[in-house]
Amino acid sequence: MKRIGVLTSGGDAPGMNAAIRAVVRKGIFHDIEVYGVIGGYAGLMKGKIEKLELGSVGDIIHRGGTFLYSARSEEFKTKEGQQKGIEQLKKFGIDGLVVIGGDGSYRGAKALTEQGFPCVGVPGTIDNDIPGTEFTIGFDTALNTVIDAIDKIRDTASSHERTFVVEVMGRNAGDIALWAGLAGGAETILIPEDHYDMTDIANRLKKGHERGKKHSIIVVAEGVVSGYEFAKQLKEETDFDTRVTVLGHVQRGGSPTAFDRVLASRLGARAVELLIEGKGGRAVGMEKNQLVDYDIIEALGKEHTLDMNLYKLSQELSI
Ligand code: F6P
């Protein structure tokens, strides 16, 4: 392996820059040339590829977003698109590719690997929904952004004795809602992994009010129901003065936390090691604070599982 590429794809996540930096510096440390693909798989198909030097990744470890840009590409889901990508990589003499992204990015990496081009997947998404790792790059930062917002909402909720519905990201995975809800002391947490019963929720909130609770915070993952729709349903069951906050893409930005920077550095560097060892077609992760790697095809076959014990705990503590 003399020349490797690196790209970021799908929704950006804080810490992606730290991961790119690790790939570049680890590669150069081992006398490997590193090329950056600009704009994810869409840029790859167009040959938007440039050589990265040590200085190219200076002053980025603390920055959110991704300096290589990111995109979601429909064309790359096709075999023709993937072949275009492989042709470009070959044109630049690149022998292996590190793909930093979420499940869609992994599917692209899996397709390239199946067609003979070795890729290593690095989990980068705020959703924390990639199998084969306990934490994905960006999750911790997003979580802290949400908690910061919930703490602020709590101040105004308490002053006005209101109920707040906070909608967070997570179409299929409830990790952000669950962890933020638990850390933010929410009364109710709605996750895509469980159904909800409006009457039951309303009764629990009413009981809390009867006991003297002056305000309530409900965290809703976007994949369950929209915050506004939920507030409408709640209005039908209660007379609570309710407001809605949709946090949206604010959750995707910001300077990565120390945890995300360290995670990104470790995973990015490990991905390069795997390519050096000739182990393409892998996905790296962190389990019990140890670096692990799985066959990328198998990793995608596995299911991400939410920590149901944590969910149970959140319910027990929010009575
Ligand atoms: O996958 C990351 C994520 O932020 C999800 O939580 C969210 O549902 C989605 O991306 C939003 O995607 P887009 O930025 O394309 O609207």
Domain extent listing, the chain: 3-138+256-299, 142-252
pLDDT tens per residue, range 58-75: 999 999 999 999 999 999
Q: What is the structure's pLDDT at 265?
A: 98
**What's the rounded Cα separation, in Å, for the pair 313 and 319?**
10
Q: What is the structure's pLDDT at 278?
A: 93
CATH superfamily ID and name for 142-252? Phosphofructokinase domain (3.40.50.460)
**What's the rounded Cα separation, in Å, for the pair 281 and 277?**
12
CATH architecture group of domain 3-138+256-299:
3-Layer(aba) Sandwich (3.40)
| 252 CB within 6 A, ligand 1 | yes
| 171 CB within 6 A, ligand 1 | yes
Ligand 1 atom at shortest distance from the alpha carbon of 176: 6
**What's the rounded Cα separation, in Å, for the pair 124 and 141?**
12
Q: Do domains 3-138+256-299 and 142-252 have the same CATH topology?
A: yes
Q: What is the structure's pLDDT at 261?
A: 98
| 146 CB within 6 A, ligand 1 | no
| 172 CB within 6 A, ligand 1 | no
| 170 CB within 6 A, ligand 1 | yes
Q: Hey, what are 130's tokens?
A: 């990639």
pLDDT tens per residue, range 281-318: 999 999 999 999 999 988 888 888 899 999 999 999 98
The residue whose CA has the least distance to atom 10 of ligand 1 is 11
Q: Please, which residues have CB within 8 angstroms of residue 249's CB and are 6 or more apart in sequence?
A: none
Q: What is the structure's pLDDT at 297?
A: 84
Q: Please, which residues have CB within 8 angstroms of residue 7's CB and are 6 or more apart in sequence?
A: 36, 37, 40, 41, 43, 44, 68, 97, 98, 99, 100
The binding site for ADP comprises 21-25, 154, 185-187, 211, 213-215
Cα distances (angstroms) measured from residue 106 to each of 122, 156, 300, 305: 8, 41, 7, 17
The binding site comprises 11, 21-25, 72-73, 102-105, 125-127, 154, 162, 169-171, 185-187, 211, 213-215, 222, 243, 249-252
**What's the rounded Cα separation, in Å, for the pair 60 and 44?**
22
The binding site for ATP comprises 11, 72-73, 102-105
Just list the catalytic residues. Answer: 127
The residue whose CA has the least distance to atom 13 of ligand 1 is 11
Q: What is the structure's pLDDT at 173?
A: 96
The residue whose CA has the least distance to atom 14 of ligand 1 is 11
- Indicate the SS3 state at residue 10: coil
CA of 3 to the centre of ligand 1 (A): 32
CA of 11 to the centre of ligand 1 (A): 6
**What's the rounded Cα separation, in Å, for the pair 17 and 268?**
10
Question: pLDDT under 50 in the chain at which residues?
Answer: none
CA of 251 to the centre of ligand 1 (A): 10
HSE on the CB side for 37, CA within 13 Å? 29
| 11 CB within 6 A, ligand 1 | yes
